[in-house]
């Protein structure tokens, strides 16, 4: 009887100990699950940070090894200068025809949206093409011709665009160097349907002002020339030339065309489509420690490429920046096995719609790196970023024609 009582007491005591241990295990397991959940939530609300190298240089080397003939596609495209002169002439003609039309009339806005915005987006991308020295063999000729392409845009920007854009190629996704990346403040402040709609409507201002907030490039003679010629033209159109030729409305037409080209316009979809991540990314890939590459460049093969210098072939362009717009389709044809499986967009208009209304897509859907890359054209990069800027992986001839 006593032995039985002792046995029962011992059994009860062991059971209590097991229950306490199980309780501790359950609590520990719950804490671990909660911690993992908090980590996943934090990753969901952050950019796609990665330790992997940007994919374009690696793929370029693989393509050259498999198809060495692609290097013959590099070099200037003579057709570019004629397309630019044609579009610039068309814009001046429309500015002349609208000189006496009220800025607030439907005719003024419809013309600016359908023709003006399309033309100025074309000129934005002509300057993009020229920044890679793909209009002429002479670098100086390219700098000067970019100023000509800038004229109907009404705001001087071609000289500043080049160093920032080449740094974007050289430092894709590098925080503090790639000014195409949204800042942390943008990703937080615009993290809503209204915020994203605001961004898409006024994104031209974000792309114009953000670079100066990240770092400033040196002001060179090309910048002074770009500024002087553009302001002289704008002043002449308003005050010097006869009203029978141009008026202040002509300059307003240029400015409105530039604004709409970077607003809710089908061709403006390329700004978002190129590098925002639209793929569903697994939690494992979100964790940078796993070093799983996240797709960070997307191509588009639709009809709007006809008026945008084939900028939709964006993987192809980043792989071979020295290949001009007319030969990018040939690159795809030669190295199709490298491009067919990559994610792509079917519609730039739908890209904008999805960006605004899809909760899974937003300003934070960009791949970022903390190291790598370099600045092209100098600039007052912060001390924190400067060591990254000196890590040169490519030669300048790889990103400039």
pLDDT of residue 373: 66
CA distances from 21 to 17, 34, 35 (A): 6, 20, 21
pLDDT of residue 6: 38
Token pair recorded at residue 205: 């201002």
- Residues pairing with 299 in the sheet: 344
Three-class secondary structure of residue 132 per DSSP: coil
pLDDT of residue 377: 63
pLDDT of residue 276: 97
List pLDDT tens digits, range 82-104: 999 999 999 999 999 999 999 99
CA distances from 58 to 24, 109, 318, 393 (A): 50, 45, 11, 11
Q: What is the mean pLDDT of residues 156-177?
A: 95
376 versus 113: the higher-pLDDT residue is 113
Separation CA 288–CA 337 (nearest Å): 28
List pLDDT tens digits, range 189-246: 999 999 999 999 999 999 999 998 898 899 999 999 999 999 999 999 999 999 999 9
Q: What is the mean pLDDT of residues 376-395?
A: 48
Task: Please say whether the beta carbons of 170 and 395 come within 8 A.
Answer: no
Evaluate the CA torsion angle 319, 323, 329, 330 in order and state its sign: negative
Percent with pLDDT over 90 in the chain: 74
pLDDT of residue 378: 61
**Confidence category of residue 293, pLDDT binned at 50, 70, 90:** confident
List pLDDT tens digits, range 23-63: 444 544 444 444 545 555 555 568 999 988 899 999 999 99
1 has pLDDT over 80: no
Chain mean pLDDT for the chain = 87
Separation CA 134–CA 78 (nearest Å): 8
Max CA distance (Å), the chain:
121
pLDDT of residue 386: 44
pLDDT of residue 185: 93
370 has pLDDT over 60: yes
- Among residues 325, 389, 307, the alpha carbon closest in space to that of 123 is found at 307
CA 33-364-122 angle, to 5 degrees, is 155
116 versus 383: the higher-pLDDT residue is 116
pLDDT of residue 213: 87
Task: Please say whether the beta carbons of 148 and 84 come within 8 A.
Answer: yes
**Confidence category of residue 11, pLDDT binned at 50, 70, 90:** very low
350 has pLDDT over 90: yes
141 has pLDDT over 50: yes
List pLDDT tens digits, range 323-335: 999 999 999 999 9
Task: Please say whether the beta carbons of 342 and 314 come within 8 A.
Answer: no
256 has pLDDT over 60: yes
> Taking the model in full, what pTM does it have?
0.85
- Among residues 302, 380, 390, the alpha carbon closest in space to that of 346 is found at 302
Percent with pLDDT over 70 in the chain: 82
């Amino acid at each position: 009887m006593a032995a039985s009582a002792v046995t029962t007491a011992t059994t009860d005591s062991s059971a209590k100990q097991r229950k306490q241990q199980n309780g501790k295990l359950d609590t520990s397991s719950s804490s671990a699950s909660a911690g993992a959940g908090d980590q996943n939530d934090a990753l969901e609300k952050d950019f796609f940070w990665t330790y992997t190298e940007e994919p374009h240089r690696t793929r370029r080397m693989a393509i050259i090894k498999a198809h060495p003939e692609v290097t013959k596609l590099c070099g200037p495209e003579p057709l570019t200068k004629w397309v630019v002169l044609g579009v610039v002439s068309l814009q001046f003609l429309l500015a002349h025809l609208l000189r006496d039309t009220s800025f607030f009339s439907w005719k003024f806005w419809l013309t600016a949206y359908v023709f003006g915005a399309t033309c100025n987006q074309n000129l934005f991308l002509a300057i993009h093409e020229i920044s890679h020295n793909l209009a002429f063999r002479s670098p100086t000729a390219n700098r000067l011709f970019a100023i000509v392409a800038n004229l109907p845009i009404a705001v001087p920007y071609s000289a500043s665009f080049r160093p920032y854009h080449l740094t974007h190629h050289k430092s894709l996704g590098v925080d503090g160097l790639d000014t195409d990346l949204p800042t942390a403040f943008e990703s937080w402040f615009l993290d809503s349907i209204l915020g994203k709609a605001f961004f898409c409507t006024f994104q031209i201002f974000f792309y114009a002002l953000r670079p100066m907030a990240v770092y400033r490039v040196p002001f060179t003679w090309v910048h002074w020339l770009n500024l002087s010629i553009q302001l002289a033209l704008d002043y002449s159109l308003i005050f010097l030339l006869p009203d029978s030729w141009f008026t202040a409305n002509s300059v307003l037409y240029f400015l409105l065309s530039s604004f709409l080209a970077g607003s809710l316009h089908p061709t403006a979809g390329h700004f978002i489509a190129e590098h925002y991540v639209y793929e569903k990314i697994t939690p494992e890939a979100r964790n940078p420690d796993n070093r799983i590459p996240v797709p960070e460049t997307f191509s588009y093969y639709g009809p709007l490429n006809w008026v945008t210098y084939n900028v939709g072939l964006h993987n192809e362009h980043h792989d071979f920046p020295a290949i001009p717009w007319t030969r990018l389709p040939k690159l795809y044809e030669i190295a199709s096995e490298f491009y067919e499986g990559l994610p792509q967009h079917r519609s730039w208009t739908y890209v904008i719609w999805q960006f605004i209304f899809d909760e899974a897509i937003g300003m934070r859907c960009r791949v970022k790196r903390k190291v790598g890359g370099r600045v092209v054209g100098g600039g007052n990069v912060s001390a924190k970023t400067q060591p990254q800027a000196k890590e040169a992986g490519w030669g300048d001839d790889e990103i400039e024609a």
